[in-house]
Chain A
């Protein structure tokens, strides 16, 4: 029995004896703790509650998008279009808010929120349909839609910026990003709520189980009577909704979009997911790890800013390195145990 078990050893990520500890699930949190320690040495202001709350708040966009990406990646796909999609949905939302068709500002804002969520879901649906019905590799399909959403944004803005005009709405909407709830900045509350819902869906519902099954082996899923394509499309729609939620926080913060909004955010989102311990080849999703990953990315930027050792212009280089290091760590953890 034992040697058979050993022979077919499939996922040596878990220790064999005693408690079932998955090193890959813990690794991101260990990395986060080490970073916090490092930050403490670099600058004494770093560990202050204000600074950390700031960092968490700034990580909100990427964190929320990355939660959606966790679903897409767990089901074995990839979405490169999220950055462009954010710019596109945000542009449309601002245009909607600038349209005086609905006179009452509160009503207009609520309608715009619903509108953004619908557009986000539709963008995700389109990605999903191109990938599944069109039978195109998700990498290529979303590379295409990335260009499409980006191009549409550029066209909507005519190369310039789209800016929220009404000051009424600006003041009405601002608390959604700058306000706080029970002492926590709203963006942090949103991250926690979105993540909690996502974790529930991924770990505790039939759909979540199906996502993992589809991601780890599509044939097994199909032979078990799971509608593989439906599961994949829904994951893309969840991604679209998450992008829309990020937009809902983005618009009150900046109130303006341009052709360069959200550029390279897909890289950050995917990095957050991978750093968080989700396997890029699908089959294992870790929502809380993803949030941890997004936070790590923002922390690294923050430490660079506070430290003066490294030029902050190198942030992209550092983030690129992090994704490579994360992959190497993931793999070595798989081998060792």
Chain B
């Protein structure tokens, strides 16, 4: 027997020399992988490294073109379309499979409702839901509507659902992408508890600090190939990042440049209130990069949307270069040179079914109008310019936006907003769900914009990003700006203190 065939006692799910092709293009090259019972195994790699495809192969959503999968030591052909759930292999998708108008307990038992004499046994389903949630020490109400839950709670419901199906292997594709650090910590507390009871987790993530903190072993994929599997304790962020990109990463963040104190104030928002946000004020100078930190749901997006005219506000004034901006008027904001980049690029940022050019010019079509008709040559020229400027790499410029990688989508969205030639750019979650290489590029784009005299407001739940990019940082908590940090104060501990409510502004 060759060493390859030895299966450790503990191995639950093993992949041997898995290869996968899509339309003749090989995307997985003979990947080996083993998942032990009761471990949290991180799967990391750049966008396009093949993580998602690999997860799909291992959960039956795609069949491998060669290689084999062993489950409990026996070769198995995983049934397609989620039927592997019956075997105990569950995948929690990046986009939740939850219907907003169902209650928690209805969601948990969706498709496998418990009945008595053909009638739904609501009482029992509620009781079992409660039991599962209790075992996760989650306080989510079993009768709450999914639509009313926070993203973190929805994530928890997905996990509860997996547990109630007696899952032995749970794949989590970027579960923490939309979670704040505190929420991730709570989530992983539960994950660890389950791990100790023997459940195995595969955790796909771009957040290296979480990988280091919460996982037992790490497998790195690069360009569809297996690079390394090692205990997490033997690795650090630097080494994982190097394994992922295969080269040394120069500094992730560009050097900070503080604007002069007497530089013109280009944006000032005073006393902004919405139904959730209360009395928020801030100012941005020309060429400055400021940050907004805080937990998910602390009102940062709501505040920025109110400032950018996308949302009605109860009170407050926004001034751009001294001129008062009409409330709830996106056009006025755009004309004044204020632009907002949404964090939700798939639902609010891009037309996924349309080509790059259509997306790029959507916000600035007037520039491409000649005597009332659209000049497609001018649009094509704009696209070529944007592709060069923001390094948007696609094989065919006619590809639809939905087919592009997250990193390219983010760059396209940035390019789209820059087409309106704004002076002030509010960027909500500039690098959500994109790989480390592209992140670095985007940070440098942002810094370059600031050097050109643009003013930037970054809203981010990734503390490192805020710390690495911003010269001034506001922390929000429950709709209120609780603190402002500058210089040396901008560090994780301080931000945490303000966002957790342990500290508030002296005023």
Contacts and interface: CB of A to CB of B under 8 A. Distances in A.
B365 A206 contact: yes
Given A10-B400, A10-B402, A222-B330, A206 B369 contact: yes
A19 to B, nearest CB: 10
B404 interface: yes
Contact of A206 (B331, B366, B406): B366
A200 B373 contact: yes
A223 B342 contact: yes
B27 A2 contact: yes
A335 interface: no
A69 B310 CA distance: 30
Give the interface centre of A2, A209, A217, A283 by most chain B CB atoms within 10 Å. Answer: A2
A7 interface: yes
A4 B47 contact: yes
Nearest to A10: B402
A8 interface: yes
A133 interface: no
Interface residues of A, number: 36
A213 B348 contact: no
A219 B343 CA distance: 13
B122 interface: no
A5 B405 CA distance: 6
Contacts of A11: 352-353, 400, 402
B504 to A, nearest CB: 32
22 contacts: A2-B27, A3-B27, A5-B403, A6-B23, A6-B403, A8-B402, A9-B402, A10-B352, A10-B403, A205-B373, A213-B351, A213-B362, A216-B352, A217-B348, A219-B347, A219-B348, A220-B350, A221-B362, A223-B310, A224-B363, A224-B416, A283-B351
Given A206-B366, A209-B374, A222-B330, A3 B348 contact: no
Contacts of A226: 362
B52 interface: yes
Kindly state the interface size class of chain B when it binds its partner.
35 or more
B331 A16 contact: no
Nearest to A279: B353
B334 to A, nearest CB: 5
Interface string B387-431: 000000101001111111110000000001000000000000000
Contact of A7 (B53, B344, B374, B401): B53
B362 A224 contact: yes
A20 B357 CA distance: 15
Interface of B: 20, 22-23, 25, 27-28, 47-48, 50, 52-53, 56, 224, 310, 330-331, 334, 340, 342, 344, 347-354, 358, 361-363, 365-366, 369, 372-374, 393, 395, 398-406, 416
A286 to B, nearest CB: 14
A5 B52 contact: no
Contact of A3 (B53, B334, B393): B53
A336 interface: no
B22 A216 contact: no
A284 B352 CA distance: 12
Given A3-B50, A5-B405, A225 B351 contact: no
A220 B412 CA distance: 14
A1 interface: yes
Given A17-B23, A205-B373, A209-B365, A5 B353 contact: no
Contacts of A283: 351, 353
A115 B57 CA distance: 65
A4 B221 CA distance: 14
Given A10-B402, A206-B369, A206-B374, A1 B351 contact: no
Contact of A220 (B47, B330, B349, B372): B349
Interface string A210-242: 101100110111111111000000000000000
B349 to A, nearest CB: 6
A217 B366 CA distance: 20
B353 A225 contact: no
B348 A225 contact: no
A209 B353 contact: no
A217 B351 contact: yes
Contacts of A9: 402-403
Interface in A222-268: 222-227
A139 B365 CA distance: 31
